[in-house]
Amino acid sequence: MVQTSNFTMQEGDVPSLEANQALVRVKFIAFEPAMRGWLDDVKSYVPPVQIGDVMRASGVGEVIASKNEKYAIGEYVSGMFGWQEYAVIKETSDKIGAPLKVPPAVPPQLMLSALGGTGVTAYLGMLNIGKPGKGDTVLITGAAGATGSIAGQIAKLKGAEKVIGVAGGKTKCDWLLDECGYDVAIDYKSERVRRRLREECPTGVNVFFDNVGGTLLDDGLLNMARYGRIVICGGISAYNETEVPPGPKYYMQLVARHLTMEGFLLYDYTDQIDEARSQLSAWIQEGKIRHREDIQHGFEQIPQTFLRLFEGKNVGKQLLELEH
């Protein structure tokens, strides 16, 4: 398990700018379970964060100095600003790293939650792989997380008949039922998920959007409908294990029920991000998608806030606000 002692706080001067750079005063920092993987020294879709480096993270902030005509002082931008109070925007050819301007009418923190990587992941993962349709039963694990909560609402907007979320604790389940339009919420801490799914889905699950892995993935596998689709979006149950835990023991259900299981990684869909953001933005304005941010405060609380993800404490998007 990652610990607060894995991080140290260092003070330094506010950086001075070179040509074509801009300086951002960071206002909100975002936290995602996937960041845990960046701490492992293994080859993956992004290089690992090295010991001594600033922890990689997305954030949003205000441009307070600029030697680049693209960024005007006073504008808000989101980008990979890391765990720091001040970040320098450098010219980059990397589409992932390129900062985005926050449109004037949009609250900055929304660019890190429903309109950020997590909301966009929910949208693109659900629509490209899950493909929910009219009458479908849709299952989501980690349903009260930033991605899960939006994924279920998108399925509902696309005609799903029954959206089932698995989350930990009554607060999260109530939020799914009362605010997010979920039809069923299963509390994995107090209920037997596998049996409850069997009761709730007599004809099986057509789309399973998994953020958790572990036994919950098996619970879903054992309750799929024929020709069901499984979106592997995350596997938070395993992110802090030192040994890779056993995989889904009931994967042979893929054969017995003719299932498809496919991994989703946002980086593979960069050409669809603008479309996703604009549709999500419209739905939010129309009140069709509810979202929630869990906002902690203070620079020194950053490591503690990161841990909240793995302690199951956050409801909705985990953010931290810096008071300058």
Among 259, 276, 284, 307, binds a copy of itself (CB under 8 A): 259
* Shorter beta-carbon distance to a copy of itself: residue 137 or 253: 253
CA distance 138 to 229: 10
254 part of the interface to a copy of itself, by CB under 8 A: yes
| Region from 134-142, 146-154, 247-255, 302-310 binding a copy of itself, contact rule CB under 8 A | 247-255
| Region from 174-182, 190-198, 259-267, 288-296 binding a copy of itself, contact rule CB under 8 A | 259-267
CB of 208 to a copy of itself, least distance (A): 13
* Shorter beta-carbon distance to a copy of itself: residue 128 or 304: 128
Torsions phi, psi for 219 (to 5 deg): -60, -40
Long-range contacts of residues 163-168, Cβ cutoff 8 Å, at least 24 apart? 163/138, 164/137, 164/138, 164/139, 164/140, 164/197, 164/200, 164/201, 164/205, 165/139, 165/140, 165/141, 166/139, 166/140, 166/141, 166/142, 166/193, 166/212, 166/216, 166/219, 167/142, 167/143, 168/144, 168/312
CB of 115 to a copy of itself, least distance (A): 22
| Region from 14-22, 65-73, 173-181, 262-270 binding a copy of itself, contact rule CB under 8 A | 262-270
CA distance 87 to 40: 24
Nearest to 61 by CA among 91, 19, 22: 22
Binding to a copy of itself (CB under 8 A): which residues in 38-57? 44-45
246 part of the interface to a copy of itself, by CB under 8 A: yes
Torsions phi, psi for 247 (to 5 deg): -85, -175
Binding to a copy of itself (CB under 8 A): which residues in 132-191? none
Long-range contacts of residues 179-183, Cβ cutoff 8 Å, at least 24 apart? 179/290, 179/292, 180/149, 180/152, 180/153, 180/290, 181/152, 181/153, 181/156, 181/290, 182/143, 182/152
CB of 246 to a copy of itself, least distance (A): 3
| Region from 5-13, 135-143, 194-202, 244-252 binding a copy of itself, contact rule CB under 8 A | 244-252
268 part of the interface to a copy of itself, by CB under 8 A: yes
The residue written with tokens 């405060």 in the block is 297
C-alpha torsion angle, residues 137, 142, 146, 151 (rounded to 10): -10
* Shorter beta-carbon distance to a copy of itself: residue 180 or 221: 221
264 part of the interface to a copy of itself, by CB under 8 A: yes
* Shorter beta-carbon distance to a copy of itself: residue 92 or 260: 260
Binding to a copy of itself (CB under 8 A): which residues in 86-115? none
Among 2, 64, 238, 295, binds a copy of itself (CB under 8 A): 238
The residue ranges that bind a copy of itself (CB under 8 A) are 44-45, 213, 218, 232-235, 238, 244-265, 268
